[in-house]
Amino acid sequence: MKNIGIIALAAWALTWVLGYAGLGNFLHVLVVGIDQSMISLAPPIAFGLFFVTSITLTVIWVRQKESNAPTDEASSGRRKFLMGSAAVSGGMVGAAVATMGRIEGWLRVTGPALSAEVEQTAPVVNASWKGARIAHKRPLGRTGFMVSDISMGTTQFLRHSDPEGLFRELLDRGVNYIDTSPDYAGAKSETALGNVLKDRNRGELFIVTKWCTSDGHVSQGSSVETYLTALDDSLQRLNTDYVDLIHVHSCDSVERLLDPNMLKAFDIAKADGRARFLGVTSHTPNLEEVAYAAIESDKFDVMMLAYHHGAWPKQQDIIKKAAEKNMGIVAMKTLKGAKHKGMLEFQNESTSYAQAAFKWVMSNPDVSCLVISFFETEHVDEYIHASGKSMTTNDTAVLQKYDEMIAGTHCLANCGDCLGSCPHAAPINDVLRHRMYFEDYGDQKQAMQLYSALDKNADSCLTCTAPCTGACPQNINIQDRMSGAHEKLSLA
């Protein structure tokens, strides 16, 4: 066949495109958390077909090329094999790179942060915290509802031996904003909440759920009926006939944020009273793009985003701009990673680290409330004691102490300021992030696997003259931290 080489190359080019836009996109929606039953299998199947076709065309091309060259049989067979292997391997590597390029941000930034388990309980309970009650409420933007400044997240509350009892206790202490989702513990979170809600004064509470099923987020492009069915299922589990707020959950793209079918479903639900307000949550690699699009659209009443002491400037700007539009701001992930072993360092403080961190978050008047996962009985007194309290010099000292503990070691998730200083192109931010998972999140196996999967690791740091010295605004001694990371994370 004439031009078989060009045809094979064109097939590989198409396979790479399908790797990124087809299989990569398929894997992306999987890791983002979309309900798997709503994901089309057509893109990965198309990728698979083109992948096989490309390999076949490559083999035909190699055979044809060799048959045109006069040579002895043995060396021709060897050459065919080597050429074929090289060509096919090159194509496969290209397809893998294209596919991983689509989900790299999630694998690098969001996935490990979500799966990490961190310590968040004070090591010593202070007697003065006992019986604490919610002391302050703030308006949740244009919803006008006065929400408790310390509010309830439910991602982990089923870890408690009596989650319904824990929930009752929180309501009795004055918590009135409850954030849940169908995909928390396969909808068991909503069911447990519903068992309690049926006996409560619904009008005093602000119940929040997400456009999700028990298996994940409703996918972009789903029908209006699919969105509404997901909402109805939530209402049934929650034992209520309306939710106050429904979020587009963990939103990673403007397309999903502004899915016309979701917006239409919300309009219908709002008109018939099933949902009162619309919101968005994001803690993904594309947080800034999604957040600004939500603000600009004027379609969202509330935004929930990661916010903790030491927030980066863009975060402050997002909150300010959202508040100017009278959107409610709900803070999550307020404990700045809460170092796994570091909490013991705070056992002699009158303020716990969590209390100081909460007060810092609520010192921003544009933040309506924060949600925190209560899952131990001790959390009730400790966390709610921070309600209504302003930052004190002691709190500032606690946060400073925390920052000093992580000073020179805490590499920022969305930074990369030092990368240009390394002539060896070492992925400094990735290596140091994996070291943090290893040391602070207690997930050594995952950290070592992530490190071994890097294209380039930190071995060059061991013998380098360190031109990166001074390149980190956080004063991290890059060579020292990188060399230490290599020792800890290397599998061999």
| Interatomic CA distance for residues 200 and 204, integer angstroms | 8
Residue selected from 411, 447, 450, 485 as contacting ligand SF4 according to rule CB under 6 A: 411
Nearer to ligand SF4, 323 or 458 (CB): 458
Scan residues 335-394 and list those touching ligand SF4 (CB under 6 A): none
Nearer to ligand SF4, 164 or 459 (CB): 459
Nearest to 37 by CA among 183, 168, 159, 142: 183
Residue selected from 231, 418, 485, 489 as contacting ligand SF4 according to rule CB under 6 A: 418
Q: How far is the CB of 409 from ligand SF4 (least distance, A)?
A: 10
Nearer to ligand SF4, 178 or 411 (CB): 411
Residue 448: which residues within 8 A CB-CB, separation 6 or more?
A: 434, 438, 489, 490, 491
Q: How far is the CB of 472 from ligand SF4 (least distance, A)?
A: 3
Strands 137-139 and 146-148: antiparallel
With beta carbons less than 8 A apart as the criterion, state whether 431 and 406 touch. no
Helix (H) or strand (E) holding 313: helix 313-324
**424 part of the interface to ligand SF4, by CB under 6 A:** yes
| Interatomic CA distance for residues 474 and 35, integer angstroms | 39
Q: How many residues sit in the footprint of ligand SF4 (CB under 6 A)?
A: 25
Q: How far is the CB of 417 from ligand SF4 (least distance, A)?
A: 4
Nearer to ligand SF4, 144 or 473 (CB): 473
With beta carbons less than 8 A apart as the criterion, state whether 472 and 418 touch. yes
**251 part of the interface to ligand SF4, by CB under 6 A:** no
Q: Which stretch binds ligand SF4 (CB under 6 A): 15-23, 102-110, 401-409, 426-434?
A: 426-434
Name beta bridge partners: 328: 302
Q: How many CB atoms lie within 10 A of CB 81?
A: 12
Residue 468: which residues within 8 A CB-CB, separation 6 or more?
A: 418, 421, 422, 428, 478, 479
Nearer to ligand SF4, 81 or 312 (CB): 312
Residue selected from 59, 412, 448, 454 as contacting ligand SF4 according to rule CB under 6 A: 412
Nearer to ligand SF4, 217 or 433 (CB): 433
Nearer to ligand SF4, 87 or 472 (CB): 472
Q: How far is the CB of 455 from ligand SF4 (least distance, A)?
A: 14
Nearest to 433 by CA among 460, 404, 453: 453
Q: How many CB atoms lie within 10 A of CB 335?
A: 20
With beta carbons less than 8 A apart as the criterion, state whether 395 and 351 touch. yes
Residue selected from 426, 436, 447, 450 as contacting ligand SF4 according to rule CB under 6 A: 426
Q: How far is the CB of 345 from ligand SF4 (least distance, A)?
A: 22
3-state secondary structure of 244: strand
Q: How far is the CB of 473 from ligand SF4 (least distance, A)?
A: 6
Q: How far is the CB of 287 from ligand SF4 (least distance, A)?
A: 17
Nearer to ligand SF4, 110 or 373 (CB): 110
Q: How far is the CB of 198 from ligand SF4 (least distance, A)?
A: 49
Residue selected from 234, 311, 479, 486 as contacting ligand SF4 according to rule CB under 6 A: 479
**311 part of the interface to ligand SF4, by CB under 6 A:** no
| Interatomic CA distance for residues 134 and 136, integer angstroms | 6
Nearest to 246 by CA among 233, 254, 285: 233
With beta carbons less than 8 A apart as the criterion, state whether 395 and 356 touch. yes
Scan residues 134-193 and list those touching ligand SF4 (CB under 6 A): none
**457 part of the interface to ligand SF4, by CB under 6 A:** no
**415 part of the interface to ligand SF4, by CB under 6 A:** yes
Residue selected from 417, 444, 452, 470 as contacting ligand SF4 according to rule CB under 6 A: 417
* Secondary-structure percent of the chain, ordered helix, strand, coil, rounded to 5: 55, 10, 35
DSSP 140-183: -GGG--EEESEEEE-SSGGGSSSHHHHHHHHHHTT--EEE--TT
Residue 306: which residues within 8 A CB-CB, separation 6 or more?
A: 283, 287, 315, 331, 332, 333
Q: How far is the CB of 25 from ligand SF4 (least distance, A)?
A: 28
Q: How far is the CB of 450 from ligand SF4 (least distance, A)?
A: 16
Residue selected from 231, 428, 436, 489 as contacting ligand SF4 according to rule CB under 6 A: 428
Site string for ligand SF4, 459-478 (x = CB under 6 A): -xx--x-xxx---xxx-x-x
Nearest to 372 by CA among 333, 336, 418: 333
Residues that bind ligand SF4 (CB under 6 A): 411-412, 415-418, 422, 424, 426, 428-429, 432, 460-461, 464, 466-468, 472-474, 476, 478-479, 482
